[in-house]
Structure 1
């Protein structure tokens, strides 16, 4: 079981998979996956030869997740998106002796010596375009060396709606951290993309993990964006300028 914990918090297509893969490659920063997303619970339950949370006591699933996500040095890590963060808190509130605890207290009681890492993307239009492509193709991440597949059709309304959603979720994360007086280690996708190993080492230092104890830090996922993303960003910006303002 862990002695130190990390929750990588973000929004879809913010670079969270890239960061989690880099941290995992170090061998000393936990094995961050989306253990607490309802869409992945059945996968993890099958892997652990256990029942999904809806079919068995939450503590059983939690214990298996803590075991899976903890590296031999005792560091646990998981990735959490704002869109299902409340699901995690609701499940934690079902644990014994949870009455009267607020969200931060529930998390800290469950995850020892908890640290928060927030990853954001400065260019939220590029993020919305990337997210739209994922929705349209069903491809959310690609292992290194894999084929990106055929290009989908451009959809202004989808990009625009996802841009507003990204902004709302980013704001919600910041509000939550402010409400609970938490200062996360903040990482931007742009910095991570420019210096993957350097930013990863900064996160390791934030976790009080000696970077010299890490294995070689290597990317585990392929860059998702192509020239099509750049084309869509420019097209969206041009179309948005030409549209009448809305209230």
Structure 2
């Protein structure tokens, strides 16, 4: 049985669906973006810890203890979702906490114990980039399976198509994926890879495969239903097709 795992990913790769389904199994921890952001104060707010004037080292010990408890939920397994764009700050803080440790992997295991890594990626980078930009522009990031809003970060507004913005997002998301792959290689980590496409097509099968990788009972996956809708509306499809035409690529 796995004691801990980290889902390593980038935005709009299906991580919210994956995390919610794994949490619903009741045996695979409570994966969430506990280390989102680039300040200890933000981490403390996310973990419902009171503000503190203590030293960074003291705060980090409190934060890591709280994260360990939150990531386990009511299970014996710690789980974490980590986006690349906030990983550098986590690396830097762990280096402060464990100055004698030689690698990121040693520092992570010093906090959370032996770790498995799940690499969640999306093959269609244009669709991922369009989804990312639409979420940023409209403020709507996720819907429940019944269509009601699950996560909104800003008031509704009409989005504006931009070839340049989509191209920049494709480049950024591609770079973040490459950074994860380089980090795995540097740390000697062999992650279990899941793609957005396979997760969207067969979510229960993917949960079953992950539970098997974690040496957890797989049969619970059959009773876990997806509760996050796939945001694939006419506008997003139109933007993908338009971007490919503008770039001289067949839809």
- The two structures have a TM-score, normalised by structure 1, of 0.87
- Return closer, same or farther for 1:153/1:187 CA change in 2, 3 Å cut-off: same
How many residues align? The count is 239
Residue segments in structure 2 that go unaligned for 5+ positions in a row = none
* 1:22/1:217 contact within 8 Å kept: yes
What whole-Å deviation, never above 9, does each CA across 1:21-46 have from its counterpart, x for those lacking one?
1111111111111100127625424x
Residue from 154, 163, 176 that aligns with 2:170: 163
Per the alignment, in what secondary structure is the counterpart of residue 17 of structure 1?
Answer: helix
Could you tell me which residue of structure 2 aligns to residue 193 of structure 1? 200
Which one of the candidate residues 213, 220, 231 is aligned to 1:224?
Answer: 231
SS at match of 2:72: coil
Alpha-carbon contact 2:207-2:221 (below 8 Å) kept: no
Give the CA RMSD over aligned residues.
2.5
Equivalences for residues 208-247 of structure 1 within 5 A: 208-212=215-219, 216-241=223-248
SS of residue paired to 2:8: strand
Structure 1: gaps (5+ residues)? 243-247
Deviation of the 1:106 alpha carbon: 0.8
Q: Report deviation, 1:54.
A: 8.8
Q: How far did 1:143 drift?
A: 3.3
**SS of aligned partner of 1:69:** helix
Check the 8 A contact 2:119/2:192 in 1, yes or no: yes
Give the aligned partner of residue 160 of structure 2: 153
Deviation at 1:222, TM superposition (A): 2.3
What SS does structure 2 have at the residue aligned with 1:78? strand
Is 2:73 the partner of 1:65?
no
Q: 1:240 to 1:82 in 2, by over 3 A?
A: same
1:21 and 2:20 are equivalent in the alignment: yes
Distance of aligned partners of 1:92 and 1:176 in 2 relative to their CA distance in 1, 3 Å threshold: same
Change (3 A) 1:53 1:181: farther
Higher relative contact order (CA 8 A, sep 6+): 1
Equivalent pair of 1:116/1:184 in contact (CA under 8 Å)? yes
